[in-house]
Amino acid sequence: MKNSNSSSSKLFTFGLVAAWYSSNIGVLLLNKYLLSNYGFKYPIFLRMCHMTACSLLSYIAIAWMKMPHLLPSAVSGNVSLKYLPVSFNQAIGATTPFFTAIFGYLMTSKREAWLTYITLIPIVTGVIIASGGEPSFHLFGFIMCIGAMAARPLKSVVQDILLSSEG
């Protein structure tokens, strides 16, 4: 019996992860199509629709299915899709661990192991090289994308501070 519950739990977790990835990729591609190919001029409206859908589905998951859920959001990520290809947007997303380590150090004085900082160097270098070689590079889109990528770890570090403080 225990093995059956364990395998069905793993299958359920796999299904949730697959659904999460699929929905994120779908929203990303749909936003890219609407903003770049279709000429839709309202990225904030798209973010509002996405957040409304996430709120409703989160309510269902939390209230009815008893599943906790955490939703990050950043309008600048949608704005960047109007100017940058999805693949480049995702490549810039590789900088998230870099920003997490930097914000963690600046805001909490928490130091990671030196190996962690050293492993971030090729990641950031790769993004810099990709930026220089990207044929569809757009400075404003790049700034918006970096802002979105930095906002996620900033939010995580602030949440960590708020959740771990005694007050």
Buried b (16+ CB within 10 A) or exposed e, 60-79: eeeeeeeeeeeeeebbbbbb
Domain boundaries along the sequence of the chain: 1-71, 75-167
Return per-residue pLDDT of the chain as tens, 167 residues.
Answer: 455 677 777 787 778 778 877 887 888 888 888 888 888 888 888 888 888 887 787 777 777 766 654 444 547 777 888 898 888 888 888 888 888 888 888 988 888 888 888 998 998 898 888 888 888 888 998 898 888 888 888 888 887 877 776 54
Pairwise CA distance, residues 149 & 152, whole Å: 6
